Structure 1
């Protein structure tokens, strides 16, 4: 099957809107591959922090991104042979990822890698520019959103459940800073794609959001 005929569902949205959980469940239900594009930036950030790469050196960061040995397997994320699903969720990694995601050279370095995830029988891609930049011809585009308070609560619970310490006021401030950075950056800013379905998950469970996305996919 030609690559362009392989179905793609894009799920974009701000940090902690629930898009990762929803994308994972939708992919599972459909038997599709999953691309967690945010994880690619977090993996780049984790690699750069571990190597001591100068975070102001765009070219060096792009080199790190270009040679990422990434693998998604079920709910697990691997960097080479190391399982790093929890390591990339640390706040320092998330903050670094948000900063380097604004760098054009890093985004370009990861462009081809993201396209390569489009394989039969289909792909669910979640991130911030999946429907606007990476897969603008996707069969279904969804933009997940939620109030900053609801997102801070989710992030707080996520961190506590994983054994990390967290402070609600700090999380709120951090999310507001990231939102501003993501929506105002010059390259691939966070905006709903043309033709995207907007889904506010502030008062929804993940399963309710999944059912809505599947309904949109079944009845375009």
Structure 2
């Protein structure tokens, strides 16, 4: 049964979704799907082609005609766009500051949601994003909504960007995350909100391992028939 388990992990930027979801998938032997990376990939390609990001019809056409692939190995999640490895390229500040524009476009989301559901149909998955439990996989076996204080989320993103060689201002980062939260919550299509049956996990002050174990416990309880 574990091999067919579907796990939806939602939450705001910097809550630790990707790191936690990847480890949960690895330990349960499931496929990890980083939906945020998919939106970043389309943003990256649109920027590369100098496309007007507010031109929804143009972005839809681009998304439909993009060969988008995810791979998972010992190093983490690889992202490929039309055969090109863009794993690092989609994590630049330029992509980060523009991805909300793409993610807020309803028809673009539907193109990517279709791809995400196809991935889920191939077997058990752990999928993270902002609307997985509410829209992409509303029938997921386990739904988790991760949160953390803005201060903690900004600190995590700050450390990540510094490791990647992108000097950033922490206060500016806090402001950007706050603005991103507001955009995600107020967007017309699939806004950020917890599913009614999602388990809330506040990661503030918790180690990554503690969060991973909490979600693993939820999954094992589900498989074991408990509540």
Q: TM-score, normalised by structure 2?
A: 0.92
Residues in 2 aligned to 1:185 and 1:91: alpha-carbon distance in whole angstroms: 22
- Is the aligned partner of 1:58 residue 2:56? yes
Answer yes or no: is the 8 Å Cα contact 2:9–2:127 preserved in 1: yes
**Cα-to-partner distance string for 1:160-212 (whole Å, 9 max, x where unaligned):** 11111111011001000000000011111100012100000011111111100
| Equivalent residue number for residue 24 of structure 2 | 26
Is 1:149 the counterpart of 2:151? The answer is yes
Contact 1:45-1:97 within 8 A present in 2 as well = yes
Unpaired stretches in structure 1, ≥5 consecutive residues: none
Q: Hey, what's the Cα distance between the residues in 2 that align with 1:86 and 1:130? A: 24
Structure 2 CA distance, aligned partners of 1:121 and 1:45? 28
Q: Note the residue ranges of structure 2 that are not aligned, 5 or more in a row.
A: 223-227
Q: Are 1:144 and 1:201, in contact at CA under 8 Å, matched by a contact in 2?
A: yes
From 162, 182, 185, the equivalent of 1:183 is 185
CA contact (8 A) 1:63 1:109 kept: no
Secondary structure of the residue that 1:156 maps to in structure 2? helix
Report deviation, 1:120: 4.9
Q: Secondary structure at the match of 2:126?
A: strand
In structure 1, what is the Cα distance between the partners aligned to 2:211 and 2:81? 30
User: Is 1:111–1:134's contact at 8 Å kept on the other side of the alignment?
Assistant: yes
- 2:7 is paired with a residue of what secondary structure? strand
**C-alpha separation in 2, matches of 1:193 and 1:105:** 22
Q: Aligned partners of 1:58 and 1:175: how far apart in 2?
A: 24
* Runs of 4+ residues deviating >4 angstroms: none
For residues 139-172 of structure 1, the C-alpha deviation after alignment (integer angstroms, 9 at most, x for no partner) is 0000000000000000000001111111101100
Residue deviations 1:27-81, cap 9 Å, x none? Answer: 1101111111111110110000001111121010111122232222222222233
Output the aligned Cα RMSD. Answer: 1.5
Is 1:44 matched up with 2:65? no
- Tell me the secondary structure at the aligned position of residue 118 of structure 1: helix
User: Any idea what the Cα deviations from partners look like across 1:54-112, whole Å, max 9, x if unmatched?
Assistant: 11210101111222322222222222332212211112212211111111111122121
Using the alignment, how far apart are the partners of 1:70 and 1:207 within structure 2? Answer: 30
